[in-house]
Each structure stands twice: as C-alpha cells, then as structure tokens.
Amino acid sequence: MKPGFVPALGTPLDQDGNLLAASYKRQIEDQIKAGAVAVLCMGSMGIQPYIRQDVCPQVAKAAVEAAAGRVPVYVGAMDCSIARAKERMAAMENLDIAGFVFTAPYYYSSTSAQLINFFKGVAAATRHDILLYDLAVVTQSKITCDIVLEMIRDIPNLAGIKSADEQMFRKLKLNPDVPRDFITVYSGLDTFDIAYKWGIDNCLDGMLSCTPYNTEKLFAALAEGDDTGAAGYLNNIVALRDFFVGHDLWPSFSAAMNLLGYEGDFTPDYVCKLQDGYWDQIRAELVRIGEPVSG
C-alpha cells in the first residue's frame, strides 16, 4: 500500500436497505480525487454488520467499478463464525479486490487460540489477501502482537493489520520475521500526525470519508514537513468527530454526508433521526472547517 490515507467509506442506503449506487460511486470518486491510496468498502463506519446479506455483494461490486483499478479496494467481511464469513466472501470472491478485512468475532470475547483458529479458517477460504482489523473496543477481543506474529508464519495470505496500537506496530516493524510489505494501517486518528513521524504513514478511518478537504490538506502538509499545518487539519477532523459523538454519531455522520452531496441513509436502520435544527449546526461545523457543503 502506498503511503497515504484510506477512507472507510460510508454506505448510502434507501429506506428499504437498498444500495444507492450512484451516491456511493460519487463518494469514491471524490475520495480518489482527494488523494486516497485505497478505499475500505463496508468497514465499521460502512455499517457492514447491518447491511442485508444480498446487498453486500452489490456494495463491493459498485466500489470495484468506481475505483476502476485506480486504487485498491478492501472489503469488510466481518462476522461471528467461520461459516458465516465464508458465505460473505463466497458472494464476493469473483471481484477484483485487494483483500477482505476481518475483525475478531464480535458477539463473545475470544481467547488467543480461538482468534487464530478463526482467522486461519477465513483465510483458507479465499484466494484473496486478508487484512486484520484490531477493534477490541467493539469485539471485546484484542488482536495482540504475538497473535499477529504466529499468524504471519501460518497464513500465507495475511497481508496486514489495521490498529491504533503503536507498540504493536513498533514491534512488527522491528521484527526481522515480518515481511517488509506487511501492511500496518493506523487507526488512532487523534495521534496520526505523531505516528507519521515514527514511519506509520497510512491512516484508515471513517471520518476521512466526510472530511475530504481536510484529509487532502492534512496529507499534503505531512508530505511537506509542515507539522503546524498538519496538526491544524487533523484537529479539524477530530473536532468534527467529537462534535458528532457529543450528539449522536450515526445520524450526525449521515447528515454530514448528505450535506456534502451524498444521497442516502448511512446509519443502521434502528437509529433515531436527528432533529431538524441540528442539521444547521452540522452544516455550520462543516463550513467552519472548510468542507465543501452543497446546497
């Protein structure tokens, strides 16, 4: 993976849970124009666990078509058993994707041995690479450095990991048994500018999909060694996220995507809708940080 940012794309759905493909493809086009080096289709911000099983392949296919070979497309296939994950992958196996992305199973916590068995099982069921997603705050199960090292030895198509664990990344980068092309993608958005100085030069986060202007400027400043400028743009992205969290993350994110010109509902179907007055506050926040609000 080239150095740069990887947006965890939002997934626009209609009121019946069907994909709004034109909106989705427009979002991907805007992210590529902003400089994305890859895209993550159906990550956690892309509500993969909430999308109908029959719609998931449509989402992945639309992403591949929109990217058109310009950037790698990674596809979330997370689930709570090997059998269910294999069903998800089988429906998308024929697509030209860079790899499938997996968290730990997320209903019960798992032991290290169980996590290894799960990842070995899903990896053996696909010709594609797999990328681990360390999201212990949701899954209740931490993917540790020792687990990763054991799986690197045993899973030939293990391509990398997304995590906010700086200590793990340091150990992986210093370990001579880790392939040099093993992907380490940072998800600690708040400290990415600091991590960048340590040589962690890929960031993946859902907030990047609703802040294309600031994300493009952030990575341009980092490349130029402009630490102050980079910190300012990163602060804008983090401030918008905190604004969302302070009210209600999912509908706030969905409203922001709509205000940026992307039609659809970007939330799980049980999420409460925002009050009308709050839209104006979200609009004001987007304008304040320089994002190109439409309408």
pLDDT of residue 42: 98
> What pTM does this model have?
0.95
Give the three-class secondary structure for 260.
coil
In a domain, 90, yes or no: yes
Please check whether residue 47 is in contact with residue 267, taking contact to mean a CB–CB distance below 8 angstroms: yes
Domain total of the chain: 1
pLDDT of residue 295: 63
Residue 224 neighbours by CB distance under 10 Å? 10
Say how far apart CA 276 and CA 86 lie, in whole Å.
42
pLDDT tens, position by position, 188-230: 999 999 999 888 999 999 999 999 999 999 999 999 999 999 9
151: Cα within 13 Å, side-chain hemisphere = 29
The residue ranges of DSSP E strands in 56-128, in sequence order, are: 73-76, 99-102
75: nearest Cα among 138, 115, 32, 94 = 94
pLDDT of residue 274: 87
In a domain, 249, yes or no: no
pLDDT of residue 294: 82
- For 99, the token pair is 């790899």
pLDDT tens, position by position, 105-144: 998 999 999 999 999 999 999 999 999 999 999 999 999 9
What parts of the chain have a pLDDT lower than 50?
A: none
In a domain, 126, yes or no: yes
Say how far apart CA 282 and CA 16 lie, in whole Å.
25
In a domain, 139, yes or no: yes
184: Cα within 13 Å, side-chain hemisphere = 24
- For 251, the token pair is 């509908």
In a domain, 219, yes or no: no
In a domain, 151, yes or no: yes
In a domain, 87, yes or no: yes
In a domain, 264, yes or no: no
Strand bridging mode 158-163 / 99-102: unpaired
Q: Provide the residue range defining the domain that includes 200.
A: 4-211
CATH code, 145: 3.20.20.70
